[in-house]
Amino acid sequence: MAERSRIFIASPDAAECEVLAGWLASAGLEPFKRASSQRAAESLRAIAFDLLIADFSFAFRRGLHTISRHNVRNSKTPTIVIGGPDKGGPARAEAMYLSRPVDRAELLCTISMALMQDRPVRRSPRKTVHALDVFVNNQPSHIIDLSIEGLRLEVPRAGGLLLPPYFSVRVPMIDVTLVVKRMWACTPRDAARSSLMLCGGALSSDQNSSSDSWHAFVEALPAREGLASDFIQVESQHRD
């Protein structure tokens, strides 16, 4: 299975770095932190990573955003900037901004949205289903819609906003268990569903014999019009 998403944190506030790193680690991500802009620049040139979270001054006045473009695994992934922007700030296409004090839930959701740029291209039709019962990491959940390449889920939040970068989805109807890569996650706009998390995932290439069963299952389902409005909003806000 692929490694966890590596998130690079750069801030002059060492205590802030520690807190953010702890939140990321508890969400199943791999944090890498630096409280010096010079050391951060050296590390950004030396290691591959998935996302940069940086203090505004570090990101743009010290040039870490530009330096990060060389080793970030997906060049379309924006930098998450803490503080700013001001008159010298970049276009929003290059960055996503968080204000201080940083909120844990908002940070994790922003990370999820930033990393969704890395999702694979969907080549087969997406089909809606009516709350198909599944188990996500042994937690009773529902599939909302699916395709051969991936699926979208409603999952109980169970005390945390994000699923791990990779998780299992057991589909009792066809007796298969899939390995799924989390592409994005968010909370529903409907307050009545605040106990749920919406999540989009892509099937990992490491599926063994489950892949054939899943493909046959998806192909056999009739195509239906319409998508959940929550998902439409998520994608429209982050389309190139």
Per-domain residue ranges of the chain:
6-118, 127-236
Query: Tokens in use for 160?
Result: 């945390």
Q: What distance in Å separates the CA atoms of residue 158 and residue 39, rounded to the nearest whole number?
A: 38
pLDDT of residue 189: 62
Q: Which CATH number fits domain 127-236: 3.40.50.1240, 3.30.390.50, 3.30.559.10, 2.40.10.220?
A: 2.40.10.220
Q: Which positions ≥6 away from 113 have C-beta within 8 Å?
A: 96, 184, 186, 234, 237, 238
Q: What distance in Å separates the CA atoms of residue 134 and residue 132, rounded to the nearest whole number?
A: 6
- For the four alpha carbons of 128, 134, 138 and 139, in that order, the dihedral sign comes to positive
Characterize 141-178 residue by residue with b for buried, 16 or more Cβ atoms within 10 angstroms of its Cβ, and e for exposed: bbbbbbbbbbbbbbbeeeeebbbebbbebbbeeeebeb
Domain 6-118 architecture: 3-Layer(aba) Sandwich (3.40)
Taking CA atoms, 40 is separated from 10, 37, 45, 54, 100, in Å, by: 6, 5, 9, 10, 21
Same fold, 6-118 and 127-236: no
The C-alpha angle with vertex 181 and arms to 127 and 147, in degrees rounded to 5, equals: 15
pLDDT of residue 3: 62
pLDDT of residue 184: 73
Enumerate long-range contacts of 84-90, CB under 8 Å, 24 or more apart: 84/56, 84/60, 85/56, 86/56, 88/60, 88/61, 89/56, 89/60, 90/60, 90/65
Q: What distance in Å separates the CA atoms of residue 67 and residue 145, rounded to the nearest whole number?
A: 39
CA 160, distance to chain mean position in Å, is 14
Q: How does pLDDT run along the chain (240 residues), one tens digit per residue? A: 346 889 999 999 999 999 999 999 998 899 999 999 999 999 999 999 999 999 999 998 899 999 998 889 888 788 999 987 554 444 444 688 888 899 888 888 788 878 865 555 556 777 888 889 999 999 999 999 898 888 989 998 765 546 777 889 999 999 999 998 877 777 666 666 777 888 888 888 766 667 888 989 998 887 654 444 333 333 333 333
